Chain A
Amino acid sequence: MLLSRNFVSDYIDLPKDLTIEQIAEDMTSVGNEYDDAGKLINCTKLVVGQILEAYDHPDSDHLHVCKVDVGNEVLNIVCGAPNVKEGLKVVVALPGAKLPGGEIKKGMIRGIESNGMLCAKSELGLDNKFLEEKDKTGIHELDDDAKIGTDAIKALGLDDEVIDFELTSNRGDLLSVLGMAYELGAIYKKNVKDIDLEYKTVKENVKDEFSIDIKTDDCTLFLAKKVKNVTIKESPDFIKERLIASGIRPINNVVDISNYVMLETGQPLHYYDANSLGEKLIVRNANDGEKLTTLDGIQRTLSKDDIVIADPNKAIGLAGVMGGLSTEVEETTKDIIIESAIFDKVKIRKTSKKILRSEASNRFEKGLDPKRTYMAMERSCALLQKYANAQVLDGLVEYNKITMEDKEINLRFSKVESVLGIKIDRDKIIDILKSLGFKVEDKKDYLTVVVPTRRLDISIEEDLIEEVGRMYGMDNIEGKLPLLKVINTHFDKTKREIKNKLIDLGLNETLSYSLIPNSEVHKFTNEEFTEITLNDPMSEDRNTLRYSLLYSLKEIYSYNKSRNNSDISIFEVGKGFYKENDEYKEDLKLAVLMTGDYYLDVNKTKVDFYIIKGVLEELLDFLGYKDRYSLVVDDIPKEFHPGQSASIIMQGKKIGVIGKMHPSVIKDNVYAFEINLEKLLVNRASKMVFKEIPKYPSVRKDVAFIVDKDVTVKEVMDVIKKSAGRLLSKQELFDVYTGENVKDNEKSLAFALYFSDESKTLTEEEVMECFNKIIKNVEEKLDAKVRDN
């Protein structure tokens, strides 16, 4: 909302010494933010001049040399505009003048001295929509009565200041000069002046010539009046100037008056050419599929959510949003039907979102004051009579289903104090409410406040407390800390612990988008699920909620790879989404991706399956799940390498997948795992209990077995463990060997076995007995041989 200082000053006397910036700041402090505040034309040193003499520049085919009278002197100015001529009153930028295009300096132009610039209107920083073709091609020609040497901005009628407000959506009342006047009046303790609604009527009555039929609940108030014999011409200067300062392009006096009244009162109006409209106007909901050509010449297809203005045969306008082409006011229009109405704000919002957001629809959407609907009609007639010679018909066509009553709300002093947390004097509270134009009755413990209908945003006691608070100054509230009961807050730190553990292991946390392409959602998993997609995505790349986080990590890998970052160890904790039995589900998941060099202890090592397996085991053991999970080569998603991947099984249930990414997905050696944390964390961590430190030394025995290539280490270790019984305290694989002395289909596995007893030092015989038993069992059960060289 652009507020013109000149415009609002018609209704309130603002202190003259108040800068526009200060007004904007004062409004902000009561809750009305602004984007910008300043002069409408941000130029200096522009004066009215008259061209005394103009001749062609001797050294140019288009430049002119002018002698220009600027009052106190005559300047020599070189100008390229085609319309320079002797006697013309022009806008002169004196040396040192600041224009949006830069500063004007004295200088020589092709050998001739030039001490200023003759300006085109387009050079003053005015928005393009206010410029005509001639404003861009030639210098501006001022009226003959402009006084030489005076301020040219004044002569142009552009001597105004403007605040561009960014209003909150509840303050529809401020989308009017009058509303602004009340708000400023409350700040500066000034009264709002009366608006001129005086006009004479002719004998004929509109009701004899015209009627309405309201066929929808979406219209609660509809007023119509008729004026005859208007003279369509240019608007008077003050109307044009105020429209321009408010951001609206002047067209002709009739159209301008409808906009002018809207700006004043906040009530959008519609003027119909009475002769093309006919005698009856209907307001109804559109039929699904109904067609209408709007003012802009575009044919629209409507639905029953749109409200239309219609004649008995067809729709002629979209209520509150845009008029129709057939009944538009034109240069030849003589008689006008004026519409001032209130339509359902939600419906208007829907329609305007679809078709066009306009000054009018914006006001309808925020809600309107019915009293202003009447006022705008009166004001319209008054101005049309004054500035378009309109004859106003007697009577008013009226449909009214809306309450016109002011609201009465009780405000307790105790409630003001308990909500704001400070004590404000009762006189101060009364004073604030009165300054806002509310009627106040003091009932000792409370006030009865009568709120005018223009304040649609106020309906309950808390709303009044906000009014008191914001005018008193929300920032004047002294902060204190709430006195609340001490409570025991529980906070599950597991998510943090998981992150911290992985960071300790050298991984970097990522944060990526939940939305991914639909084509990727079923990848990296064999699980069956219904994915969740968006109704209106921003792009095909983000139309589906991810189920697995691995797609995101793969994308991060690719992003980094293309930037030559090849050592990547990353993880993310986030949600995977799916639909199950008509319910939306979100499972917290952890995904890890590793490739390139990894810092293992102090050495760089290329990431392989065993490193990522180590990360997984470190994490699961840390979380208290040691010895309760296993990797099983089964059910591997096709995006993983079939020979280097496994399912992660916990207490018999699959909780995730680990392995190398399939070369069809990524050519590099990239390893990843994903765990469903919901499935993991339902398992309680094992108890952490101190185990007595062994008092007696352990004995180490090494052995290497030659086994078939397909025998897994786990199989051998299981047999060793089973055979040894309680004396084996630890076993470690320390070498895997293939090559010389080992057949092609075999491999050698070397183990270090540690034997000990909690109650005594073991004898060599005891150890050997156990050791030999292990060897015998492994040889028998796995068809192994002890390697002796």
Chain B
Amino acid sequence: MDIQKETSKIKSMIEEDKKSVKTIQELNELKVKYMGKKGIISELNSKIKDVPNEEKKTFGMKVNEVRTLFNDFYDAKKEEIENKVLNEKLEKERIDITMPSKKIKRGSKHPMTRIEEKFEDLFLSMGYTIYDGPEIESDENCFQKLNLPKGHAARDAQDTFYLKDEFENYLLRSQTSTAQVRAMEENKDKGPLRIVCPGKVYRRDEDATHSHQFMQIEGLVIDENVSMADLKGTLELFCKAILGEKTKVRFRPSYFPFTEPSVEVDVTCFKCGGKGCALCKQTGWIEVLGAGMVHPNVLEMSGYDSKKYQGFAFGTGIDRFAMFKYGITDIRTIYGNDIRFLTQFDRKDDE
């Protein structure tokens, strides 16, 4: 038997068969035809036993040649057909990616809470403790111990809600400054103190910029050597963190009964950056905080030695910052809770 001739014949058969294969099924039929138990190549290979020993090697090589030829063809063709089938299938699965998405809808955090948390985080990072005082307060804590005795003219600025049948002894706190008193009284060792107190406050007042309920945050630092300069540095850091690095801070002398000296704190207008616009009444500045050095009477009334300790305190409205930050012009929107208002705050803040 001329193995050369046999394999050439098989080779040309394979070449011929190759042309007509279209499907996996046809391919597999070819595999049976050549590689099956009774297949052409298998049949040829079984004749090796009749080949003289010295030719067995050549015979085997030749058979392997056609076997490899077929297998290579088979693998290549199989991949080709499978790819084609897959691509056809994928093409059929084509979708319209502009259709509406299926969302897992997250809720939203109230803008006031967002600002409150921002403030808290900032002061926490500076080593302050968050102090949470009650909303019902005594007149003593809210006013008297802040150097505002009954009948004091400065009480006019805060028209207060007193509770029924209490002869003006209990009230809804009109300022978070009252937290100063509580924190100092509760601090048994009358030593250094560093707190901020955010929370609701109440005043008899209601219009587009005033709500009878609003939120303030009060800060208090007591130590042996804190000064107005420390207060200014702290507030500069605070205002920059909240309103942006370019914000400038200005101290203006003012008067609060519980601080001496007292200042009002202006920041460069967030809208115009200080150039002057309608929001800042062309001044370039907006008043945002009241602050000062804790009045020695206030320290003494809460048991602190005013000869040893000094302190600074500051307070600001959270509503104001929320309104500035998000461009809300009517405070009633904040407390209106329209779902179309609330759901706007469903994302991370821009910084």
Interface residues of chain A, those whose CB is within 8 Å of chain B, are: 28-31, 33, 168-171, 345-347, 349-350, 365-366, 418-422, 457, 460, 462-463, 465-466, 469-470, 474-475, 477-487, 489-491, 496, 499-500, 502-515, 532-538, 542, 545, 556, 559-560, 563, 565, 567-570, 575, 577, 584, 586, 599, 601-602
Contact = CB atoms under 8 A, between A and B. Distances in A.
Interface stretch (B4-12, B13-21, B42-50, B110-118): B110-118
A15 B109 CA distance: 56
Which 6 A-B pairs have CB atoms at the shortest separation, nearest pair first? A421-B229, A421-B227, A346-B151, A31-B253, A168-B255, A479-B232
Contact of A510 (B103, B110, B253, B340): B110
27 contacts: A31-B255, A33-B252, A33-B254, A169-B157, A345-B153, A347-B151, A349-B153, A419-B227, A420-B227, A420-B261, A421-B232, A422-B227, A477-B228, A477-B232, A477-B251, A478-B229, A481-B233, A482-B233, A503-B106, A509-B113, A511-B334, A534-B162, A534-B172, A536-B204, A565-B338, A577-B135, A584-B134
A563 B338 contact: yes
Contacts of B252: 28-29, 31, 33, 474-475
B336 A475 contact: no
B276 to A, nearest CB: 14
B228 A421 contact: yes
A585 to B, nearest CB: 9
Contacts of B162: 534-536
B223 A484 contact: yes
Given A532-B163, A560-B338, 5 more contacts: A474-B253, A496-B117, A515-B202, A515-B212, A545-B172
B104 A602 contact: yes
A419 B261 contact: yes
A556 B153 contact: no
B296 A169 contact: no
Given A484-B194, A508-B108, A565-B340, A466 B153 contact: no
Interface in B145-162: 150-154, 156-157, 161-162
A27 B127 CA distance: 37
A666 B173 CA distance: 34
A577 B136 CA distance: 9
A462 B295 contact: yes
| Contact residues on B (Cβ < 8 Å of other chain), bracket | 35 or more
Nearest to A588: B132
B252 to A, nearest CB: 7
Contact of A508 (B153, B254, B296, B339): B339
A538 B205 CA distance: 8
B164 A477 contact: no
B302 interface: no
A666 to B, nearest CB: 16
B262 A508 contact: no
Interface in B337-351: 337-340, 342-343, 346
Contact of A538 (B153, B212, B234, B253): B212
Nearest to A362: B153
B27 interface: no
A502 B200 CA distance: 22
Contacts of A545: 136, 172
A489 B128 contact: yes
Contacts of A475: 250-252
Contact of A482 (B108, B120, B230, B260): B230
A535 B103 CA distance: 50
A170 B154 contact: yes
B105 A482 contact: no
Contacts of A457: 255
B142 interface: no
A506 B229 contact: no
Contacts of A514: 135, 172, 200, 202, 213
A513 B339 contact: no
B237 interface: yes
Given A478-B232, A565-B340, A489 B212 contact: no
Given A168-B255, A479-B236, A508-B339, A535 B164 contact: yes
A604 to B, nearest CB: 9
A479 B233 contact: yes
Nearest to A563: B338
A187 B310 CA distance: 29
Nearest to B195: A489
B221 interface: yes
Instruction: Name the prevailing secondary structure of the B interface residues.
Output: mixed
A612 to B, nearest CB: 14
Given A509-B113, A514-B200, A570 B232 contact: no
Interface in B288-333: 293, 295-296, 310
Nearest to B136: A584
B36 to A, nearest CB: 40
Contacts of B227: 418-422
A560 B339 contact: yes
B98 interface: no
Interface string B234-277: 11110000000000011111110100111100000000000000
B107 A474 contact: no
Contacts of A420: 227-229, 261
B39 interface: no
Given A482-B230, A513-B212, A602-B102, A466 B253 contact: yes
A713 B261 CA distance: 69
B226 interface: yes
Contact of A534 (B161, B249, B250): B161
Contacts of A570: 337, 339, 342
A505 B232 contact: no
Given A508-B107, A559-B337, A599-B104, A462 B261 contact: yes
A463 B212 contact: no
B60 interface: no
A591 B254 CA distance: 42
B125 to A, nearest CB: 9
B296 to A, nearest CB: 6
Most chain B CB neighbours (cut-off 10 Å) among A489, A537, A575: A489
A555 to B, nearest CB: 9
A569 B342 CA distance: 11
B221 A482 contact: yes
Contacts of A505: 107
Contacts of B153: 169, 345, 349, 365-366
A559 B336 contact: yes
Contacts of A418: 225, 227, 310
A479 B113 contact: no
Given A504-B106, A508-B108, A491 B228 contact: no
A366 B261 CA distance: 19
Contacts of B105: 506, 599
Interface in B19-63: none
Contacts of B228: 419-422, 469, 474, 477
B69 interface: no
Most chain B CB neighbours (cut-off 10 Å) among A350, A366, A479, A565: A479
Contact of B229 (A168, A422, A515, A584): A422
Most chain B CB neighbours (cut-off 10 Å) among A485, A503, A577: A503
Nearest to A604: B105
